[in-house]
A and B are shown apart, each in its own frame.
Chain A
Amino acid sequence: MTAMTTLPILDETSAPFWEAAREGRFLIQRCPETARYQWYPRAHSIHAPHATPDWVEASGRGELLSYSVVHRGNTRGDPYTCALVRLEEGVTIFSRIEGVAESDLRAGLPLAVAFHRLDETVSLPIFRPPGDASGSDA
């Protein structure tokens, strides 16, 4: 897998997300007024702009919505798969797929979150087929 080397720049809003990810928990935000989920995380609810979203642990399950395997450009390493993943909670996130051959990629593929450790402070959520925990190194 092509190395992921860019670290996120954490801020006040995002710190709980990254702290949980380091512990292998995947958080998303939920609006306290409408109970609707949102991604990406913000300091406010996009459903009720004066409300501050709550962090809740997501199921970590989802399905593949779309994908693109990067063969050339920005990489001299192996191809890697960028993807849109629809979470069970209904929001779409951008991530990487690991553990699936390019020829097996298809929309609707069931996926589960795993964590890829970038350094001692940051673990990045990625997605793999459910039951395949080999990428969980958080």
Chain B
Amino acid sequence: MKDLSGKTAIVGAYESPRRDAPRVHPFALQMECILGALDDAGLTLKDVDGLCAASGDWAEGGGTMDVIELAEYIGIQPTYVNSTDVGGCSYILQAGQAAAAIATGLAEVVVISYAACPRWWPLSTPSFDPFVFPAGPGQYEIPYAPTLISTYGLFARRHMDLYGTTPEQLARVAVTFREHAAANPQARLRKPITVEDVLASPVIASPLHRLDCCVVTDGGGAVVMTSRERARDLKRRPVYLAGYGAAVARTQNSQIPDDLSTPAALSGPRAFAMAGMTPADIDVAQIYDAFTITPMLALEDLGFCGRGESGPFVAAGNLAADGGSLPTNTDGGGLSSNHPGKRGIFTLIESVRQLRGDGPGIQVADAKVALAHGLGGTFCSAATAILTV
């Protein structure tokens, strides 16, 4: 994989400023994002020969052949497509695979795009979604009516039992990212909160409170990738894909590992190895935060702290853009800024903005190496990208 390091670049990025898009079809929002990212790159739809999207889940507008539906809607005929859906980190996985496609000549200009409109979407979850489908492995779990949040609750509770993690430490994650969101005019929630506010908010699924949970937004974003050579001739400073890794693990709750390790323990080391880097090299991180426990486990699996040490790590202020050792979720993350359902694309976009020096809110000074990391489902999958300028 080392051969792939730095061979491709993100040359355009766009996050829709929308957080509410009443009765806007998600494909229309994707078109806004695709054109936005292409404009940013100085490219047009005519340049695009690759399309990556995963638009077949709830509130995403597409069905089981979503990438065809999307290509048709946009009005292009890509010769490279990827609609691999591994949940929220799909777009990071697709970026890694797009890099391989570009480096081997399968494609030249690839758009990776996402949008969803859960705030108004009128249909229920597709019946074949693994979290509602009571057949095969799911027949032994779905009848008990687990919720997505209760599965994160199982992780959080066991983390507390195994490692002494406290609700206050979890709350610090939400408080820190809200501080970052306060500076981002596009963030969904910007009013500062305290640890006490988080703990006083209603319990959704114990031990997680409402303010331990992400916002629910209508939104979308897109990035454009091309070769290192072509990137040099385009409008914006290229952001190179230096490292990439992905892994899948499980969907069923019964398969949660005893030590709560997640597939990030595979995706992270692969990404660092490809980049020839270690966690100490990361200047700024965007780490998927559907719930407060979500980035905490990632910090352990990615090696920013030891197993079980994420509670003290976040409580010590390490994630704060102002003085922390690992400024994280500088845009406010999913907890405060934007989370339509699969926010992996935003971890790429905010990484690009930080490396270019044009973050919408907080800007980390002189950031040269960024980490974008996501998970899918309930720690079912993981994908990690290391980006450089």
Contact = CB atoms under 8 A, between A and B. Distances in A.
Contacts of B20: none
A101 to B, nearest CB: 13
A8 B158 contact: no
Given A71-B206, A84-B253, A92-B254, A6 B158 contact: no
A59 interface: no
A68 B203 CA distance: 10
Interface in B334-360: none
Contacts of B154: 66-68, 82-84
A40 B158 contact: no
A63 to B, nearest CB: 12
Given A71-B202, A92-B254, A40 B137 contact: yes
Nearest to B143: A6
A102 B143 contact: no
Interface string A61-72: 000011111111
A68 B145 contact: no
B144 A4 contact: yes
Contacts of A66: 154-155, 157-158, 161, 256
Interface string B130-155: 00001111011111111111111111
A126 B145 CA distance: 12
B165 interface: no
Q: How large is the interface on B (under 10, 10 to 19, 20 to 34, 35 or more residues)?
A: 35 or more
Contacts of A6: 134, 142-143, 145
A94 B143 contact: no
Given A9-B134, A40-B254, A73-B205, A68 B157 contact: yes
A94 B252 contact: yes
A6 B136 CA distance: 14
Contacts of A8: 134-135, 139-140, 142-143
B141 A94 contact: yes
B193 interface: no
Contact of A40 (B134, B147, B157, B252): B252
Interface in A50-83: 65-75, 80, 82-83
B150 A82 contact: yes
Contacts of A96: 144
A35 interface: no
Contacts of B258: 92
A80 to B, nearest CB: 7
B204 interface: yes
A8 B137 CA distance: 10
Q: Which of A70, A74, A83, A95 has the most CB of B within 10 A?
A: A70
A22 to B, nearest CB: 14
Given A11-B135, A39-B254, A93-B254, A71 B140 contact: no
21 contacts: A4-B143, A6-B143, A8-B134, A8-B143, A9-B134, A9-B136, A39-B254, A67-B154, A69-B205, A70-B146, A70-B204, A70-B205, A71-B205, A72-B202, A73-B147, A73-B148, A82-B151, A91-B254, A93-B140, A94-B253, A126-B144
Interface of A: 2, 4-11, 14, 39-41, 65-75, 80, 82-84, 91-96, 102, 107, 118, 122, 124, 126
Closest 7 CB pairs of A and B: A68-B153, A8-B139, A9-B135, A66-B158, A94-B253, A68-B150, A69-B206
Interface of B: 134-137, 139-158, 161, 202-208, 252-256, 258
